[in-house]
Structure 1
C-alpha cells in the first residue's frame, strides 16, 4: 500500500508516462524515519520540503500543513502495521503538462513506507571502504543542496562503487573539494576539530547533519567548524564518518591505503540515541 494524494491505494499504482518526475526529474522528496509512531525531526523535514518546493517554483497547496502531512504519513505506517519502526519516503512532483516549461505548477504526492529492523541507531557496517568519484562533479549551487528526483550523479557513483568493491564513494564539487558521500553528509575529525563542508560547497542540507553538529558542540574537547575538505585532507584525518536520517552515523574505516579509528562516531551515536529516546 501507498498513500497517493491522501488516499491509501495498492502499491501497484501505475503512473502516467507523462509524469514530470519521470520525464524531467521534476520532483522533490524527503526520506523519514519513524520510531514508535513518531516521525523523527519532522519539523526540520517539513520546512526543508516546503523550502525545496518554493525554490523549484512548485505551487504549495493550502492543505500542506505540518499536521496534514504528519497524519498522511502516520496513517500509512499504521495501516501497514510498521508504525514502531519504518522508513518513509514522501515524493512531491509537479503535475503533468508541457515539456521543459510546465503548463501548470500544481503538485501531487506519493508516500511509500517499509519496515526497519531497529528503532535505535547503530553502526551498520564495521568495515566501510570508500574512494573518490571523479567522473562527474556536484556544482556549487542551491539546487545541489536539495533532495530532488534527479540524482544521476549518485546513481552513477553507486554503480562505480559496486564495480570497484567499495561500500560508497565521496563526491567532489567543481572546486575539487570533497563535499559528501553518495547517501549522506561527510564529517572529518582532525585532531580536536570536527569539520563538515558548508552548504555553500554544494552538499545536501542534511537533517542528520544538523543534529550531529548540535551534539558535537556539546562535547567540550571538540571544536566544530564548517569548512572546505580537500582530497589531501582525507589522508591526514583521524576519523571520517557519514550521516543520514536512516543510518544515523556510518564510520568510514578505509580510504585508499589510509585506515581510520572509530571513536567520536560511537560517542555521537550514543548522544543521538539518547536524544531520541
Structure 2
C-alpha cells in the first residue's frame, strides 16, 4: 500500500514506486531524429548509449545491438505512422531492487516518440535571447558528458529562463567557464575561428556537436578550435549558436546588450540539410 496524491492505493497500481530511474535517476537515454524511416546518426547514438551504460556499470544485454536498437525505435514510429519525421527517445534504466546499491545491474528500456513538423532542419532567424545561469554549476567530470536522467540543473535553468523572459540560458562549470546551453552544445564564432568547449570542461558529448565539428573542418577559411570559453569572451563573439539533433542549429541573436549575426551558422545548417537529403 502507498499514498498517491492523498489516496491510499495498492503499490502494484503505480509502477514507479520501485523504478530506479524514478527513485535515483539511475537511467541513461538517447533522443534521436528519424527521417524517412532512417535514424539519423544511428551509429553515434548507439555507441554513446553503450558508453553511457558502461560508465554507470549497467549490464548490456547480449541482444542489444545497433540493429536491435534501430528496430525498437522504428517499430514504434511505424506503428504511430510518424516514421517520415519523428523524435524518439529510448531510456535505459537499471531494474528494480535495492536502495543506492542495486540488487543487480540488469536493465530494461522504454521507447516513446512524437511526430515532428518538418523533415529537414529549419533555421529560425527570429530573436533568440540568452543569459548566464549562475545558481548551479556543471562539474567537470565524465558523468556530465553522458545523458543520464538526472537533469535537475537543466530543469531549474529552464524555469529561470522562463521567469526572466529568456529563450535559453548558458550553463557554467565549476571553474565558471561557459559549457553549453540548457538543451544543446554551444558554438562561438570570432573572426575565422569556430570555437566550442572541449568535453573535458563538462559539456555533453553531443551527437550534433560531432557533426558540426566534422562539417566545419571542410569549409575553407574556418579554423575549428575546442577550447575553454570564459563569459567575458561572449561579448567579443561575432556569432553564437546552439546545436542538438532535434533542432539542428539555433542561432543566438542577443546576449545582454550584444547582438549577433548568423552567417556561419546558416551555412552549416544548409550543409546539414544537404546530407539529410542524401539519406
CA contact (8 A) 2:124 2:251 kept: no
Q: How far apart are 1:16 and its partner, in Å?
A: 3.1
Counting only pairs closer than 5 Å after superposition, residues 74-153 of structure 1 correspond to structure 2 as: 74-124=74-124, 126-153=126-153
Separation (CA, whole Å) in 1 of partners of 2:251 and 2:14? 39
5+ residue gaps, structure 1: 1-12
**Cα 1:110–1:222 shift into 2, 3 Å:** same
Question: Which residue of structure 1 lines up, in the alignment, with residue 26 of structure 2?
Answer: 26
Q: How far apart are 1:14 and its partner, in Å?
A: 5.6
Question: Which residue of structure 2 lines up, in the alignment, with residue 8 of structure 1?
Answer: none
Separation (CA, whole Å) in 2 of partners of 1:105 and 1:71? 24
Separation (CA, whole Å) in 1 of partners of 2:165 and 2:179? 22
Separation (CA, whole Å) in 2 of partners of 1:113 and 1:15? 20
Question: Which residue of structure 1 lines up, in the alignment, with residue 235 of structure 2?
Answer: 235
Question: Which residue of structure 1 lines up, in the alignment, with residue 248 of structure 2?
Answer: 248
TM-score w.r.t. the length of structure 2 is 0.94
TM-score w.r.t. the length of structure 1 is 0.94
CA deviation vs aligned residue, 1:201-244 (integer Å, no higher than 9, x gap): 00000000000001111111110010000000000000000000
Matched, 1:267 2:233: no
Q: How far apart are 1:124 and its partner, in Å?
A: 3.6
Q: How far apart are 1:276 and its partner, in Å?
A: 1.4
5+ residue gaps, structure 2: 1-12
**Cα 1:14–1:86 shift into 2, 3 Å:** farther
Matched, 1:224 2:224: yes
Q: How far apart are 1:126 and its partner, in Å?
A: 1.5
- What secondary structure is seen at the aligned counterpart in 1 of 2:215? helix
Separation (CA, whole Å) in 2 of partners of 1:16 and 1:171? 30
Q: Output the aligned Cα RMSD.
A: 1.0
- What secondary structure is seen at the aligned counterpart in 2 of 1:16? helix
CA contact (8 A) 1:179 1:202 kept: yes
Q: Whose Rg is larger?
A: 2
Separation (CA, whole Å) in 1 of partners of 2:91 and 2:49? 10
Q: How far apart are 1:142 and its partner, in Å?
A: 0.1
Separation (CA, whole Å) in 2 of partners of 1:230 and 1:91? 33
Counting only pairs closer than 5 Å after superposition, residues 196-215 of structure 1 correspond to structure 2 as: 196-215=196-215
Question: Which residue of structure 2 lines up, in the alignment, with residue 46 of structure 1?
Answer: 46
Separation (CA, whole Å) in 2 of partners of 1:17 and 1:154? 24
Question: Which residue of structure 2 lines up, in the alignment, with residue 56 of structure 1?
Answer: 56
Separation (CA, whole Å) in 2 of partners of 1:68 and 1:39? 12
Question: Which residue of structure 2 lines up, in the alignment, with residue 7 of structure 1?
Answer: none
CA deviation vs aligned residue, 1:31-82 (integer Å, no higher than 9, x gap): 0000000000000000000000000000000010111111111011000000
- What secondary structure is seen at the aligned counterpart in 1 of 2:61? coil
CA deviation vs aligned residue, 1:144-167 (integer Å, no higher than 9, x gap): 001000001100000000000000
- What secondary structure is seen at the aligned counterpart in 2 of 1:59? coil
